[in-house]
Amino acid sequence: MYELKIITRFAAAHQLTMVGAKCENMHGHNWRIEVHVTGEKLDKGGVLMDFGQIKVHVADIMKQLDHRYLNELAPFSDNQPSSENIAYYVATELQKRIDRPGIRVSRVAAWESDDACATYIVD
Amino acid sequence: MYELKIITRFAAAHQLTMVGAKCENMHGHNWRIEVHVTGEKLDKGGVLMDFGQIKVHVADIMKQLDHRYLNELAPFSDNQPSSENIAYYVATELQKRIDRPGIRVSRVAAWESDDACATYIVD
Amino acid sequence: MYELKIITRFAAAHQLTMVGAKCENMHGHNWRIEVHVTGEKLDKGGVLMDFGQIKVHVADIMKQLDHRYLNELAPFSDNQPSSENIAYYVATELQKRIDRPGIRVSRVAAWESDDACATYIVD
């Protein structure tokens, strides 16, 4: 099996409720987002998929999140903008954009700092 | 499924026997430790578990290893203080401290340098 | 289960055909190669395998790729020198060199830049 990984970043504000501790204060992060796409077969060019195409899709999703207050933004206005939910959101949005048989988003990791990361692993 | 990852570090001395080569001399490393915790369900706050709580548990374990000669320290006095065994030890100690249904330590990686890492993957 | 990871690098030129876009121009990368080796049992020295031995094998493979034009080099003269195929090649060559029961190459990642990586995952 082959897996492609692309790393990108966005900066935003958020605050969490019902978790206790300092996360309840409005604050922000430079999130580092790692998307993973998997598939079994390479194409005639020897690639699973062009990295450039994944980057275009990811940039399109990042544009919606970058320099925003996530708590005011759908779907986070109804759903806590935790790193877990951000990872889930990016995975779901990316899968919609990659509409190819045999290629699927397998996981998205959202690093909220250099030492803390939440990953959504698609079943 | 969701996975949380926390990175931390400790510095210690160790030496390995029965491996041949330079590892038999007493030496040391700045180990970089990556712990992974997994679970299926997020809580009402939208998180699998508070990163801060994992950090407290990991710091507690690191305190036992940091700036020590590992060969003199249980369990490594009876069990080689290899990066493999350090990863196993941290995973086991962390699981004892995270006593929550549905949340488990899935793997711990111990980097003994920037280019060499041993991971214990919990079955 | 235990997993060892070794990171190394090589620099080479390549070009891809049939992918469209700028990859068709001859260019090059500093590839960062991450090899993963797994097994169930540690030896008497407490290690899955000596990191040094893996490094020797990987260095031997890197020597064949470093500072070359990959399109002229077997197997890439018949097979696109994409990061996917480079990862596959390194995994296959490393497995030949690690001839030990119970130890196998599980995956090789080839980073062609700091933000784009292709991994071959051995089934």
pLDDT over threshold 80, residue A81: yes
Phi, psi (rounded to 5 degrees) for B72:
-95, 0
Q: Is C95 on the interface with B (CB under 8 A)?
A: no
Chain A residues with beta carbon closer than 8 angstroms to that of C115 = 6-8
pLDDT in tens, C56-98: 999 999 999 999 999 999 999 889 999 999 999 999 999 999 9
Which of C80, C116, C119 has its CB closest to that of A45?
C80
| A40 — pLDDT class (breaks 50, 70, 90) | very high
Q: What residues have CB less than 8 Å from C53, skipping those under 6 apart?
A: none
Kind and range of the H or E element at B8? strand B2-14
User: Does A47 contact C84 at a Cβ distance shorter than 8 Å?
Assistant: yes
> Are B38 and B112 within 8 A, CB to CB?
no
Q: Tell me if residue C67 is catalytic.
A: yes
CB atoms within 10 A of CB A41: 9
User: Does B6 contact A119 at a Cβ distance shorter than 8 Å?
Assistant: no
How far out from the chain centre does Cα C74 lie?
A: 15
Q: Is C117 on the interface with A (CB under 8 A)?
A: yes
B16: closest CA of chain A, how far (Å): 29
pLDDT over threshold 70, residue C19: no
C20: closest CA of chain B, how far (Å): 34
ipTM of this predicted complex?
0.93
Closest C-chain CA to A1: C121
Q: Pairing mode, if any, of strands B2-14 and B27-39?
A: antiparallel
Q: What is the pTM of this model?
A: 0.95
Query: pLDDT of chain B along its 123 residues, tens only?
Result: 999 999 999 999 999 887 677 778 889 899 999 999 999 999 989 999 999 999 999 999 999 999 999 999 999 988 999 999 999 999 999 999 998 899 999 999 999 999 999 999 998
Question: Using alpha carbons only, what angle is made at residue A109 by residues A83 and A88, rounded to the nearest 5 degrees?
Answer: 60
Q: Tell me if residue C117 is catalytic.
A: no
Chain A residues 1-60 with CB within 8 Å of chain B: 16-23
The span from the CA of B6 to the CA of B34, in Å, is 6
Which of A18, A87, A120 has its CB closest to that of B45?
A18
Q: For residues C61 and A77, which has the higher predicted lDDT (pLDDT)?
A: C61
Alpha helices in chain B (DSSP H): 51-65, 83-97
- Provide the pLDDT for residue B19: 66
User: Does A2 contact C121 at a Cβ distance shorter than 8 Å?
Assistant: yes
